[in-house]
Amino acid sequence: MSQESLETVVHQQAQKAKINLLGFSTSRLYDFFDGIGEKRFRATQIIKWIHQEGQCDFSKMTNLSKDLRSKLADIAEIKLPEVVSCQDSIDGTRKWLIRVDGGSCIEMVYIPERERGTLCVSSQIGCALDCSFCATGKQGFNRDLTAAEIIGQLWIAADSFDQFTPKAKRRVSNVVMMGMGEPLMNFDNVVDAMSIMLEDNAYGLSKRRVTLSTSGVVPQLDKLADVSDVSLAISLHAPNDELRNQLVPINRKYPLAQFIASAQNYIEKMPDNRRKVTVEYTLMDQINDRSIHARELAVLLKDLPCKINLIPFNSFPGSDYKTVTKTALSRFRDILMAEGYTVTVRTTRGDDIAAACGQLAGEVNDRTKRQARYKKRLDETQPINIIG
Ligand code: SF4
């Protein structure tokens, strides 16, 4: 085949690429239907089919005319990421390994509790921020997930619990953007996906039940305050800049004072002034778990309406840290409670399937050299088994 005709074939193939409607919010669907000369009310019908009925086949969308169904099938698709595996922990936690375009895999986790079921959703393949205590950071970074790949995680979990049918075994009642990646580094896609989570014609989750967690990308957090009012969690992990610079490197760019001020600004803009920021603090033995750290934290947060969630560190292969002792954890919690804070301690869930907080790794086709360096270090520190 000549070079010219090859280019023609490639061009024709590219022209044929279908538009994936899975990650389209109603407003994007309006634009889509405007663009193909159809009425806007079709947007509501489609979003309900996909996210309330769990239907991804246009031919089965019975309230659309046959012509429209066939037109949609020609130009669009509803394409989900692929589930590679699904593991259940002895405590009921479920972890999925999900392949996305390009071959990398991400992980998501469902944590059942008596009153609710929380889905921890990933926003990126790997993470560029490289927090020193996080397994995801060690995998390097590939790319941002698309809105379809983010909302597709919720669709997959809902489908696995028969949530699209009257015989639902369980429900996803809460979503936390706390899986792999820093959500605010993938701003537009995360905002689009969260809007589908909240939308009445889709999942209809309350804004109190959708939480975005950030490590402190301050300009994007300021921007989020203008377009969203979901619940906010801030991943602090240290009460002063010196220590936080080591644990959460983005702190060197946006120090604590800026981060706290931005979080304050976020909740002040919320229509419901009773809302509080959740402060996430992972406790590591002899690193950030001393009494002086608890007292410093109490001072740091004194003007921020917040509740504090203490997370005993969950180890992973090659991690440099150990988890907090029970004594240090109680002491840390008591100091904060004595200062008037509401403090919860996160129970470790899904540890046996590496699904606990900070343990998600996936399979990242790393575009940085970080994963290779991490693996080399793991190899160097592995004990050598001599059989003889
Ligand atoms: S803790 Fe969050 S921001 Fe930090 S490396 Fe892990 S995924 Fe990225």
Q: Which atom of ligand 1 is nearest to the CA of 181?
A: 7
Q: How close is the Cα of 371 to the center of ligand 1, in Å? A: 14
Q: What is the pLDDT of residue 274?
A: 67
Span 177-229, pLDDT tens digits: 999 999 999 999 999 999 999 999 999 999 999 999 999 999 999 999 999 99
H-helix or E-strand containing 234? Answer: strand 231-235
Q: On the CB side of 321, how many CA atoms lie within 13 Å of its CA? A: 24
Q: Name the CA dihedral angle for 361, 233, 282, 108, rounded to a multiple of 10 degrees.
A: -20
Q: Quick one: DSSP state of residue 180?
A: S
Q: How confident is the model at residue 9 (pLDDT cuts 50, 70, 90)?
A: very low
Query: Has 7 been annotated as catalytic?
Result: no
Q: Higher pLDDT residue, 52 or 273?
A: 52
Q: Which atom of ligand 1 is nearest to the CA of 213?
A: 2
Q: How close is the Cα of 229 to the center of ligand 1, in Å? A: 22
- Classify 82-375 by CATH class: alpha beta
- The one catalytic residue among 107, 149, 199, 280: 107
Which stretches of 74-116 are assigned E, i.e. beta strand? 76-77, 82-88, 94-99, 105-112
Distance in angstroms (rounded) separating the CA atoms of residues 259 and 245:
13
Give the pair of three-digit tokens for residue 60.
Answer: 């089965």
Considering only CA atoms, which residue is closest to atom 4 of ligand 1?
Answer: 131
Q: Which atom of ligand 1 is nearest to the CA of 214?
A: 3
Q: What is the pLDDT of residue 358?
A: 75
Q: What is the pTM of this model?
A: 0.91
Considering only CA atoms, which residue is closest to atom 7 of ligand 1?
Answer: 181
Distance in angstroms (rounded) separating the CA atoms of residues 10 and 13:
5
Worst-scoring range by mean pLDDT, 16-20, 118-122, 223-227? 16-20
Please answer whether residues 355 and 109 qualify as being in contact, where contact means their C-beta atoms are separated by less than 8 angstroms: yes
Q: Does the pLDDT of residue 16 top 70, yes or no?
A: no
Pocket test for ligand 1, best of 134, 180, 280, 360 (most atoms within 8 A of CB): 134
Give the list of residues 6+ apart from residue 18 with CB closer than 8 angstroms, or none: 75, 76, 77, 79
Q: How close is the Cα of 280 to the center of ligand 1, in Å? A: 12
3-class DSSP state for residue 242? Answer: helix
Q: How close is the Cα of 128 to the center of ligand 1, in Å? A: 8
Which DSSP string do the residues of 331-366 spell out, in sequence order?
HHHHHHHHTT--EEEPPP-SGGGT-STT----B---
Q: How close is the Cα of 331 to the center of ligand 1, in Å? A: 27
Distance in angstroms (rounded) separating the CA atoms of residues 141 and 128:
5
Q: What is the mean pLDDT of residues 95-100?
A: 95
Q: What is the pLDDT of residue 208?
A: 93
Q: How confident is the model at residue 273 (pLDDT cuts 50, 70, 90)?
A: low
Largest Cα–Cα distance in the chain? Answer: 78
Give the list of residues 6+ apart from residue 297 with CB closer than 8 angstroms, or none: 236, 239, 281, 308, 336
Q: Which atom of ligand 1 is nearest to the CA of 182?
A: 3
Q: Is the dihedral of CA 128, 130, 134, 138 positive or negative?
A: positive
Which stretches of 89-198 are assigned E, i.e. beta strand? 94-99, 105-112, 117-120, 124-126, 141-144, 174-177
Q: Which atom of ligand 1 is nearest to the CA of 127?
A: 8
Query: In Å, how far are 48, 65, 199, 278, 336 from 172, measured between CA atoms?
Result: 17, 32, 15, 20, 32
Pocket test for ligand 1, best of 215, 235, 252 (most atoms within 8 A of CB): 215
Q: Does the pLDDT of residue 326 top 80, yes or no?
A: yes
Angle separating helix axes 218-227 and 256-268, nearest 10 degrees: 0
Q: How close is the Cα of 363 to the center of ligand 1, in Å? A: 16
Q: How close is the Cα of 24 to the center of ligand 1, in Å? A: 27
Q: What are phi and psi of 267, to 5 degrees?
A: -75, -25
Span 53-71, pLDDT tens digits: 999 999 999 999 999 999 9
Q: Does the pLDDT of residue 383 top 50, yes or no?
A: no
Q: What is the pLDDT of residue 388?
A: 25
Worst-scoring range by mean pLDDT, 137-141, 215-219, 360-364? 360-364
The rounded percent of the chain whose pLDDT value lies above 70 is 93
Q: How confident is the model at residue 381 (pLDDT cuts 50, 70, 90)?
A: low
Give the pair of three-digit tokens for residue 129.
Answer: 């921020």
Q: Which residues line ligand 1 (CB under 6 A)?
A: 127, 129-131, 134, 136-137, 180-182, 215
Query: Has 280 been annotated as catalytic?
Result: no
Q: What is the mean pLDDT of residues 307-328?
A: 92
Q: In the chain, which segments carry CATH 1.10.150.530?
A: 3-77
Considering only CA atoms, which residue is closest to atom 3 of ligand 1?
Answer: 182
Q: Does the pLDDT of residue 14 top 50, yes or no?
A: no
Query: In Å, how far are 124, 127, 172, 224, 283 from 229, measured between CA atoms?
Result: 21, 24, 20, 8, 28
Place of tokens 């575009």: 367
Q: Which atom of ligand 1 is nearest to the CA of 179?
A: 7
Q: Higher pLDDT residue, 137 or 194?
A: 194
Q: What are phi and psi of 173, to 5 degrees?
A: -100, -20
Q: In the chain, which segments carry CATH 3.20.20.70?
A: 82-375
- The one catalytic residue among 127, 131, 306, 357: 357
- Classify 3-77 by CATH class: mainly alpha
